[in-house]
Amino acid sequence: MSQNSLVPVDLSQLPSTQMFDDDVYDGIAQSATFLARLQLYTKGKAIDKGLISPGHYGIPESGDEITDLGVSINVLVLARRPKAVDMSDSDAIITSYDPNSPEFKRIADKSLEKESNCMYGPSFLVIERNNWQRPLEFFCGTKSTRAEAKKIYQFLPVSAEQIKKRGLKDVEPQGPQPAMLTVRFVEKGKYSWHVPVASKCTTPFTKMLPIERLSDEIRKFCEAKTDGVERVEEEEAPKKGKRAR
């Protein structure tokens, strides 16, 4: 008999109410409006508050909750886009996806200033193995992450048409490829920080979103551009640590 001090009667013999697997419910509980972030934590308030250890990958869920993924993760790399973000005004975050626009170039130039709260670089749409129901954005917006981002390019899907158009040599068509992201600790003078390290992953992904859902996520990720600049006002800003697409 199952004992439960809060329920005086044994209800263990009731018929099962489990309709579909847990993965189905985990998937439909995720927001379809905002794209969650995959982030490598090295310094900052989250670490100071003990929410995650330095050098760990995580998914910010809210101001006081982070899904800790550890120091090594596997991701499926679906797409990439250029991105520049100006967070100098927390009430109006400016995002640009057009590297040829004046706004993007302004943000990129300003990012060279110390504590400018501006970032730019490639942004990737990925699926993390243990959170495969959730497409994630991995933004390489700092100098050190931009350098490593180039190693992630090899895991992106590429078609025969793209190979021909870009004049690529010794490259075969491929779909999205799995990559392993680990961490390297860097020390330079009195400063230290963690940077991502990308390498080949040989462990197959056994669970995946339906092709239709993946196609839709890729389309929304790649087409996320109005006039190239997106302002996120405070009352419209996404909650739970997420950013608008």
Q: Residue-wise over 90-112: b if at least 16 C-beta within 10 A, else e?
A: eeebbbbbbeebebbeebbebbe
Residue boundaries of the structural domains of the chain: 33-244
The pLDDT value given to residue 245: 54
In the predicted model, is pLDDT for residue 116 greater than 90?
A: yes
pTM: predicted TM-score of the whole model, two decimal places: 0.80
**pLDDT > 90 fraction of the chain, expressed in percent and rounded:** 67
The pLDDT value given to residue 160: 92
Q: What is the mean pLDDT of residues 148-156?
A: 94
The pLDDT value given to residue 155: 95
Confidence class for position 225, pLDDT limits 50, 70, 90: confident
Confidence class for position 6, pLDDT limits 50, 70, 90: low
Confidence class for position 97, pLDDT limits 50, 70, 90: very high
In the predicted model, is pLDDT for residue 51 greater than 80?
A: yes
Going by their DSSP bridges, the two strands 135-139 and 34-41 should be labelled as: parallel
In the predicted model, is pLDDT for residue 163 greater than 60?
A: yes
The whole-angstrom separation of Cα 240 and Cα 245 is 14
